[in-house]
């Protein structure tokens, strides 16, 4: 199968995700929690009250009697807000989901095609990318999670000194349709640690990579200038510095560990959990006693998944509260 044909098939399959919304229109099922009841309403309110470009010291009318700071919401440089300016809410929602699914597919396909040669066949890369594009991540997150493969593809291209122009374009554009705090900050932190270790071991320095990295972090901070201002200089407390510290007991935290591991978080509930869990169990059984390099890496990644779920669950453990009350960074 030709490359262009393979990509076209993948794009069409990725867009099947939004087919119910196209066929059923506003009668289609749309997530309510942290979506229809909040984010979509906020975007619409920003548009209707002409608050998108309001000053750093302005409040948003029609929200809690006008006491909510404009800085509590995404900045005017975030692409999803533009869609709600240009289109009706449902149309904006469908367009956003279409864009996200398309670039989720392209990012994963390009990453596997260019950086997993010899590890995964091209035909498998197509289906892995399609399945990834169908993952039901939180709609208002934009490309914060689903854009990570595309970002990684661009960074690794720059690391290896190839496709510099297209990779730089990706690093420039994605920040306008993703959120620095909703996933990207952790992606960039992990990316930096991983490549720092590689640099130290190889006693090398990829200056082009680190320049691109630094410029993208700076771009994210400029786009999120309202967040930066509200965290560092805004005197009035906002929703960003008022958090519930958690009140789960020990066994409730253990229960949350298994619930999060099996079903996923509410913002990225993986409906394909049974398939994923079955695959993990089979792979874990196959590599448990093997001692080759690939088996060790798979075991490490599996323990890492368990560790992430455990850390998330015990963040809500009440035993942490005295420390969290004294160290706000936690």
User: With 70 as the cut, is the pLDDT of residue 237 above it?
Assistant: no
Q: Looking at residues 178-203, what average pLDDT do you find?
A: 93
Q: Using alpha carbons only, what angle is made at residue 183 by residues 312 and 41, rounded to the nearest 5 degrees?
A: 100
Q: Residue 214's pLDDT is what?
A: 96
Question: For residue 318, how far is the Cα from the chain centroid?
Answer: 28
**7: alpha, beta or left? (left if phi > 0; alpha if psi -120 to 50):** alpha
pLDDT band at 327 (very low <50, low <70, confident <90, very high): confident
Helix axes 207-223, 225-232, angle to 10 degrees: 70
Closest CA to 147 of 119, 124, 179: 179
Q: Where are the domains of the chain?
A: 3-30+76-223, 250-326
Q: What is the pTM of this model?
A: 0.84
Instruction: Report the chain's mean pLDDT, rounded to a whole number.
Output: 88
Distance from the Cα of residue 78 to its chain's centroid = 14
Query: Which pLDDT tens digit goes with each residue over 47-95?
Result: 999 989 988 888 888 777 777 888 889 999 999 999 999 999 999 999 9
Per-residue pLDDT at 240 exceeds 60: no
Q: Is the pLDDT of residue 248 over 90?
A: no
CA atoms of 164 and 154, how far apart (whole Å) = 8
Percent above pLDDT 90 for the chain: 50
**Measured distance CA(72)–CA(54) in Å, rounded:** 12
Looking at residue 236, its pLDDT comes to: 60
Q: What percent of the chain has pLDDT over 70?
A: 93
- CB atoms < 10 A from the CB of 139, how many? 19
* Higher pLDDT pick, 153 / 238: 153
Mind spelling out the 3-state secondary structure of the chain? Answer: CCHHHHHHHHHHHHHHHHHHHHHHHHHCCCCHHHHHCCHHHHHHHHHHCCCCCCCCCCECCCCHHHCCEHHHCCCCCCHHHHHHHHCCHHHHHHHHHHHHHHHHHHHHHHHHHHHCCCCCCHHHHHHHHHHHHCCCCCHHHECCCCCHHHHHHHHHHHHHCCCHHHHHHHHHHHHHHECHHHHHHHHHHHHHHHHHHHHHHHCCCCHHHHHHHHHHHHHHHHHCHHHHHHHHCCCCCCHHHCCCCCCECHHHHHHHHHHHHHHCCHHHCCCCHHHHHHHHHHHHHHHCCCCCHHHHHHHHHHHHHHHHHHHHHHHCEHHHHHHHHHCCCC
Q: What does the pLDDT average to over 217-234?
A: 89
pLDDT at 245: 66
Lowest mean pLDDT among 103-107, 262-266, 321-325: 262-266
pLDDT (mean) for 229-243: 65
In this structure, which long-range contacts are made by residues 66-69, counting pairs with CB atoms below 8 Å and at least 24 apart in sequence? Answer: 69/230, 69/234, 69/236, 69/238
Check pLDDT > 70 for residue 234: no
pLDDT of residue 243: 59
| Range 103-135 burial, b when 16+ CB lie within 10 A, else e | bbbbbbbbbbbeeeeeeeeeeebbebbbebbeb
Contact in structure between 84 and 74 (CB atoms under 8 Å): no
Torsion, CA 136, CA 141, CA 144, CA 148, rounded to 10: 20
């Amino acid at each position: 199968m030709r490359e262009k044909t393979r990509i076209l098939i993948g794009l069409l399959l990725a867009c099947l995700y939004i087919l119910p919304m196209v066929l059923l229109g506003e009668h289609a099922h749309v997530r309510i929690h942290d979506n229809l009841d909040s984010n979509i309403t906020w975007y619409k309110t920003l548009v209707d009250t002409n608050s998108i470009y309001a000053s750093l010291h302005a409040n948003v009318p029609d929200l809690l009697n006008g006491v909510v700071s404009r800085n509590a919401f995404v900045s005017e440089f975030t692409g999803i807000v533009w869609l709600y300016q240009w289109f009706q809410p449902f149309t904006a929602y469908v367009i956003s989901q279409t864009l996200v699914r398309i670039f989720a597919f392209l990012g994963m396909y390009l990453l596997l095609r260019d950086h997993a040669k010899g590890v995964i066949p091209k035909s498998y890369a197509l289906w892995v990318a399609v399945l990834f594009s169908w993952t039901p991540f939180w709609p208002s997150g934009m490309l914060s999670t689903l854009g990570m493969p595309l970002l990684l593809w661009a960074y690794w291209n720059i690391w290896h000194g190839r496709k510099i122009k297209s990779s730089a374009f990706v690093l420039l554009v994605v920040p306008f349709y993703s959120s620095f705090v909703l996933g990207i900050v952790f992606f960039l932190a992990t990316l930096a640690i991983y490549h720092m270790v590689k640099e130290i071991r190889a006693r090398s320095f990829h200056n082009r990579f680190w320049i691109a990295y630094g410029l993208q972090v700076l771009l994210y901070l400029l786009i999120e200038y309202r967040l930066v201002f509200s965290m560092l200089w805004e005197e009035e407390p906002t929703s960003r510095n008022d958090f519930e510290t958690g009140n789960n007991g020990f066994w409730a935290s253990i229960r949350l560990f298994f619930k999060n591991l099996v079903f996923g978080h509410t913002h990225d509930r993986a409906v394909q959990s049974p398939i994923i869990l079955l695959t993990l169990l089979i792979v874990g059984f196959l590599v448990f006693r093997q001692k080759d390099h690939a088996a060790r890496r798979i075991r490490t990644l599996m323990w890492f998944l368990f560790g992430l779920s455990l850390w998330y669950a015990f963040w809500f453990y009440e035993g942490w509260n005295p420390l969290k009350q004294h160290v706000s960074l936690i």
